[in-house]
Structure 1
């Protein structure tokens, strides 16, 4: 539900510039980011969805720009993937063939997506993130209910 709300909030904000929460209070903003990280990490571990699925909407709801939230989520994804891989190596198994194939295309997709995100107008990117959050949130909600 938080993902849907983040999408609606992003679309309703329109063309107005969003201010990150507590931007003038760096200590409070760091605490907010620690909280977002904790919630995203816990939610990711509990549900299996990637940390960025939760951290991007939470950061957008907190007033960070979509481009900042997306950039931060890429770093979060690296750390989450590494810890998840170590956990699966210890307690489970990994299909390295499938992982290798996906990695090749994911890296290409990340480079292409980052390039597009930096050349597209910020307002269009904000709308895209808002719509994507609503769609992803609706799919998660539907899967949970059905």
Structure 2
């Protein structure tokens, strides 16, 4: 394995642990480091995210950072729809997938920089559940389709509706775990996972996730929100320029 991939896996793990949205950078890193086509690189990345998200979920649970009302509806939506996204990736094509994902990421990042303006329906428990279920379903489908993992879209969508940044970042770990599990089933069916690269990625990302979660717990929430938004915009522009 090249030094570039080793560093990329650890850095991506750190970003996932600290902000829950750094995983999107893994797909271009795998493509550049191995020469894989996007469909195979995205399937490999999505598979590896399941295990690192499981590590992140355990660490957040042990620290008491997970809130059931944020986690459950997102996980339900992601588990039901991510597999369908993976099974339809070939219909869209690699070039279109990259462009669509990049634009969505930029929009989400820019939106997260705005002041939150919750809808009136968010004031009720049922309204929040429906919104989070919708986020889980839509973002879960996109996760399976593009291999992005999910939090790169779900975290900004939650923050802009007024959910607190740190619990939102923590909830993104179990959400990603369920999205990746469902999406990986679809990728296994269409044989779009490189298991060797996925295994090495899991080991190195886990180290970064541990460090990122420890760092995030000491960060100012306002700074964390800005970091999430800026990372989204940077990632989207980077993908478009590629």
> TM-score band (shorter)?
0.7 to 0.9
What is the alpha-carbon distance in structure 2 between the residues aligned to residue 66 and residue 77 of structure 1? 16
Query: Number of aligned pairs?
Result: 139
User: Structure 2 residue aligned with 1:58, among 149, 154, 157?
Assistant: 157
Q: How has the CA–CA distance of structure 1 residues 141 and 94 changed in structure 2, closer, same or farther, with 3 Å as cutoff?
A: closer
Quick check: 1:7 aligned with 2:109? yes
Looking at structure 2, the residues matched to 66 and 133 of structure 1 have their Cα atoms a distance apart, in angstroms, of: 15
Map of 1:120 onto structure 2:
219
Let me know the Cα RMSD of the aligned residues: 2.3
Q: Which moved more, 1:86-95 or 1:75-84?
A: 86-95
Worse-superposed segment, 108-117 or 92-101: 92-101
Indicate whether 1:45 and 2:147 are aligned. Answer: no
**Does residue 86 of the first structure (1) align with residue 86 of the second (2)?**
no
Distance 2:148 2:181 in 1: 15
Of the structure 1 ranges 109-118 and 62-71, higher mean CA displacement relative to structure 2 is found in 62-71
* Distance in 2 separating the partners of 1:97 and 1:142: 29
Q: Secondary structure at the match of 1:119?
A: coil
Structure 1 gaps, min length 5: none
C-alpha deviation, 1:98, in angstroms: 1.5
Superposed CA deviations along residues 64-118 of structure 1, whole A, max 9, x for unmatched, are 2222222121111111222233333333153322111110111111111111111
Which runs of structure 2 are paired with 1:103-142 in the superposition (5 Å)?
103-142=202-241
Unaligned runs of 5+ residues in structure 2 are: 1-102
* Distance (Å, rounded) in 1 between the aligned partners of 2:209 and 2:233: 21
Query: Matches of 1:68 and 1:136 in 2, distance apart?
Result: 23
Residues 71, 99 of structure 1: CA spacing in aligned structure 2 closer, same or farther, 3 A cutoff? same
- TM-score scaled by length of structure 1: 0.79
Structure-2 separation of matches of 1:10 and 1:93: 32
Question: If the length of structure 2 is used for normalisation, what is the TM-score?
Answer: 0.51
